[in-house]
């Protein structure tokens, strides 16, 4: 029987936004399952990757077509290919909560570029490599907010809803090639980025816990098990799905 620490042995996993928060926790979980980790992030990628055996850190703006191409080239050069893509990079905690009519157009476009366009670019770049290897796994990180209709972050919530639709449509396109595409939607998570924004913590932490079936803070580590499962041998008949991980705040 395959052991948990070896079920992804020999596989290469790119984790965007993997230097901190949920991305860092996911990278650690995949590494513990045996995968070789490529951390792609704007800052701290090399430092974060250094803790994993054979880890590779690449400084990447995932909303840039040029940077994404360079990310894939660097991964192939150092690791030989790609088996797993975790589309985790995104904008959230730094966004001010405000009525939708006060959201500047430039900020709307920035959120869509980082949260949605990046996933298109990364998938488009890695899928040919996955097909060459006979298949692969893509896990997109969305959010519980589209299912609850959270106000005052319309661009963010819209972008995360788009990720669910993106996942479903892409899964249909890639199933015949053995590339499985799924989505994980965390609830409000006490990540490093959130901790750096006291006003976000004050506005959302207590109300989130009170709305949950499981009455505690959600931590980045709470997301890891679902992602590792969707990348492993136990999920070989699952694609196009969204798993909401929020302690029972929303039943999906």
HSE value, Cβ hemisphere, 13 Å, CA-based, for 171: 21
Nearest to 243 by CA among 170, 157, 156, 142: 142
Q: Which helix (H) or strand (E) holds 245?
A: strand 242-245
In the 3-class helix/strand/coil scheme, how is 175-230 assigned residue by residue?
HHHCEEEEEEEECCECCHHHHCCHHHHHHHHHHHHHHCCCCCCECCHHHHHHHHHH
Question: Which residues touch 175 (CB under 8 Å, ≥6 apart)?
Answer: 239, 240
CB 194 within 8 A of CB 208: no
Phi-psi region of 178 (alpha: psi -120 to 50; beta: other; left: phi over 0): left
CB 41 within 8 A of CB 19: yes
Question: pLDDT tens-digit profile of 112-131?
Answer: 999 999 999 999 999 999 99
Specify the pTM.
0.94
Percentage above 90 pLDDT, the chain:
84
Percentage above 70 pLDDT, the chain:
94
Residue 197 vs residue 86, higher pLDDT: 86
Q: Is 52 a catalytic residue?
A: no
Question: Which residues touch 25 (CB under 8 Å, ≥6 apart)?
Answer: 219, 220, 221, 223, 224
Catalytic residue among 52, 92, 106, 156: 156
Domain spans of the chain, in order of start: 12-245
Q: Is 19 exposed, middle or buried (0-12, 13-18, 19+ CB in 10 A)?
A: buried
Question: pLDDT tens-digit profile of 18-27?
Answer: 999 999 999 9
E strands in 4-154: 12-16, 36-41, 56-59, 84-87, 136-141
Task: Identify the architecture of domain 12-245 in CATH.
Answer: 3-Layer(aba) Sandwich (3.40)
Question: pLDDT tens-digit profile of 87-97?
Answer: 999 998 889 99
């Amino acid at each position: 029987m395959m052991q948990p620490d070896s079920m992804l042995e020999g596989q290469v996993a790119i984790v965007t936004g993997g230097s901190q928060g949920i991305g860092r926790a996911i990278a650690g979980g995949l590494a513990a399952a045996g995968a070789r980790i490529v951390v792609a992030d704007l800052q701290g990628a090399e430092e974060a990757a250094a803790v994993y055996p054979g880890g590779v850190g690449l400084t990447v703006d995932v909303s840039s077509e040029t940077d994404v191409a360079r990310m894939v080239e660097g991964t192939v050069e150092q690791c030989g290919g790609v088996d797993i893509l975790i589309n985790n990079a995104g904008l959230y905690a730094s966004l001010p909560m405000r009525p939708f009519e006060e959201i500047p157009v430039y900020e709307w476009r920035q959120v869509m570029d980082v949260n949605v366009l990046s996933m298109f670019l990364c998938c488009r770049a890695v899928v040919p490599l996955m097909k060459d290897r006979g298949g692969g796994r893509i896990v997109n990180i969305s959010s519980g907010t589209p299912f609850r209709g959270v106000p005052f972050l319309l661009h963010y919530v819209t972008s995360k809803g788009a990720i669910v639709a993106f996942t479903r449509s892409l899964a249909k396109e890639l199933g015949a090639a053995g590339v499985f595409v799924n989505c994980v939607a965390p609830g409000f998570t006490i990540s490093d980025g959130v901790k750096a924004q006291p006003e976000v913590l004050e506005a959302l932490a207590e109300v989130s816990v009170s709305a949950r079936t499981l009455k505690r803070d959600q931590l980045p580590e709470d997301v890891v098990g679902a992602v590792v499962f969707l990348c492993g041998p136990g999920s070989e008949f699952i694609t196009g799905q969204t798993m909401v991980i929020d302690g029972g705040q929303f039943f999906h």
